[in-house]
Amino acid sequence: MRRIILSLVIILTLSLSPAYSYWIWTPKSGKWVNPKSVPKDNPKAQFEFAKSFYDEKKYEDAKRELKKLLKAYPKSFEASESQYYLGLIEEERGNLYEAYLDYQKVIDKYPFSERIKEINEREYKIAEKFMAGEKRKALGVVLPVENPAIEILTKVIENSTYGPLAAKAQYKLGLVLKGLLRYYEAEDAFNKVVANYPDSEWSEPAKFQIASCRAGVSRSSDYDQGATQEAKQKFEEFVKDHPDAVLSKEAEKNISQLKEKEAEASFNIARFYEKQEAYKASKIYYENTVNNYPQSIWATKSLERLQIMEKKK
């Protein structure tokens, strides 16, 4: 009786629309399955099948088969390779952020993969593309605020704290943050270059950038006279420690600009006291401007104000 019922079921199934002809009964699992969703008998065969689509640039088919392998054989060697190839596909299609996410999964899930070094390099290059203004493209993925390079470079550093890319990635992270006017975070990033990689080629320029961040703070809405003085001091230290460095000329230029800013601040304080008729305090600041910043235009203006004040006596 059971054989008759099973035969009738099969006959009825075959007589239905073509959509149902893709489903077959598997006695082993006791279920109806679609052959398209069933992986090959072993991970190697499944990977070779998936890669054949990749080689032909049939990326959607390749992704389907690679994901099928990951689900069926998650702990196999081929699983780590499948995850890597998912990253390759997204990178080749220009979906850089999704590529980074797929690459990072290899590092997170398969830390002993032989691809780790190569993946770290690929992630770094993706970060550089975002730094260069690459269009932030992703399929259904919400990208990080401002610049994905921040997240990616941070991961590159974590993936290889003292590896060949770490110092450079740490320095570039500082540059991205500085470019976004996040001066305090940028300064912290550059300080880590100096502290963690003192012998790297990035340590010297990082010291310059630390001073530059201080100067940036002095120009921002968080301005205070102390930030200007600190920036000038750090630039002076850089020039002293690296007199022959290419960046020393720019540092000297910044020192001059910061001195001009200090002179302006001193003059403005003097004017404030003068308007309040606190002439003694005003005179002190005018004279400070003249004595400490003699080459500044504010020294000339201070002399003029001192002469006017003298005539009022």
Q: Is residue 152 part of a domain?
A: no
**Whether residue 171 sits in one domain with residue 120:** no
pLDDT in tens, 122-151: 999 999 999 988 655 544 555 655 689 999
**Whether residue 50 sits in one domain with residue 142:** yes
pLDDT of residue 20: 42
- Domain of 268, in residue numbers: 259-313
Q: pTM of the full predicted structure?
A: 0.71
Q: 114, 146, 178: which is the final residue of a domain?
A: 146
Domain count for the chain, please give it. Answer: 4
Q: Is residue 111 part of a domain?
A: yes
Confidence of residue 7 (pLDDT cuts 50, 70, 90): low
pLDDT in tens, 151-166: 999 999 999 888 889 9
**Whether residue 120 sits in one domain with residue 64:** yes
Closest by CA position to 175, among listed 202, 196, 201? 202
Residue 235's CATH number: 1.25.40.10
**Whether residue 212 sits in one domain with residue 232:** yes
**Whether residue 55 sits in one domain with residue 29:** no
**Whether residue 199 sits in one domain with residue 221:** yes
Q: 146, 174, 200: which is the final residue of a domain?
A: 146
**Whether residue 43 sits in one domain with residue 142:** yes
Q: Is residue 250 part of a domain?
A: no
Asked if 69 and 82 touch (Cβ cutoff 8 Å), the reply is yes
Neighbours of 212 (CB within 10 A): 25
**Whether residue 228 sits in one domain with residue 166:** yes
Q: 191, 217, 245: which is the final residue of a domain?
A: 245
Q: What is the mean pLDDT of residues 3-8?
A: 52
